Amino acid sequence: MFTLTPEVRFAIDAARQASLLVREIQAEMVTPALTKSDRSPVTVADFASQALVAGLLAEAFPNDPLVGEEGAEALRTPQEAATLAQISAFVARKRPDATPERICDWIDRGAAGAAQRFWTLDPIDGTKGFLRGDQYAIAFALIVDGQVQIGVLGCPNLRDGYLPDQDGPGSLLVAVRGEGTWLTPLDAPETFTQLHVSQRTNPAEARLLRSFESGHTNVSQIDVFAERLGITAEAVRMDSQAKYAVLAAGGGEIYLRLLSPKMPDYREKIWDQAAGSLVIEEAGGTVTDLHGKRLDFSQGRTLANNRGICATNTLLHPAALQALRDM
């Protein structure tokens, strides 16, 4: 198994606590009566998750910066007092010392820039999946010298790392550079099982991991990509970096993030890719940008030197990149 360094222990504990807290918020706030325009559950969960992890980080590694998705500026206004009170009540379940002021201070730790050593957090990846009562992930990673060293994905609605199960034990995936990717139940992280990507080599049999949402990718171009590879297998549709877990566990072979025609200059945020990329790589997969370049996490809060994402089981990576070049 992997070496349980203080950093690895902390990453597992923080991601697990945040995942369990967010699962509670989803169960209590995402109801059939929720209207599509009501994003309050994901707002509360997003901020609560980041506050919890940032507070734990401040105690465990007080000198380590955190690059997080959220900031607390809006929460400090009188208009958001009720939302802040909800967030504080949820975080207090895990941290009795949580106060509204501390919550905001913890959240704002995520405004740091990249450094020689820092952590990055996506407090909820897959917000629309969360609001549907479906798949989402908590993604937490340690980056040193521009390279991801530890990546943890908490997937509360996945069983065995790849099976959707809203009433199951959840999945916690842990990747440590050079030591593999490992899976344990989110509810009881005791025994760890090593994960490996699938060994499919025929592009026609490749299972594409596709999102329900189309915000940052190009859906029509993914269809063209599938045609060029002659893919006949049914796609696996899922929100969030839970797709990275599925690929690492052998439940799919290819995942793409193509540039949306509406956002041609978009660059990936590091918290959207850091944990998931290491989870795939340490399971034997390959993650590059659309041109085959390794992801560069040394450029601040975005992957400024990369365009899009191509993740595969390695065996199909050359064919995937060739299809992208042909397009």
To the query of whether residue 134 is one of the catalytic residues in this protein, the response is: no
To the query of whether residue 289 is one of the catalytic residues in this protein, the response is: no
Neighbours of 314 (CB within 10 A): 18
The helix-helix angle for 219-229 and 317-326 (nearest 10°) equals 120
List residues bridging with 166 in a β-sheet: none
Sheet holding 309-312, edge to edge: 236-237, 208-210, 254-257, 309-312, 286-288
At 286 the three-state DSSP class reads: strand
Per the rule left: phi > 0, alpha: psi between -120 and 50, beta: everything else, 281 is: alpha
Among the listed residues 43, 46, 184, 288, the single catalytic one is: 46
Give me the sign of the Cα torsion angle 246, 215, 136, 234: negative
Query: Tokens 């697990």 map to which residue?
Result: 16
Report which residue type is found at 193: T
Give me the sign of the Cα torsion angle 8, 11, 15, 16: positive
- Backbone φ, ψ for residue 114 (5° rounding): -65, 150
Report which residue type is found at 166: Q
Ranges of H-type helices in the chain: 6-29, 40-60, 81-91, 100-108, 127-131, 219-229, 242-248, 274-282, 317-326
CB 121 within 8 A of CB 98: no
List residues bridging with 10 in a β-sheet: none
CB 190 within 8 A of CB 278: no
CB 254 within 8 A of CB 208: yes
Among the listed residues 43, 120, 127, 181, the single catalytic one is: 127
Give the residue numbers annotated as catalytic, written as ranges.
46, 127
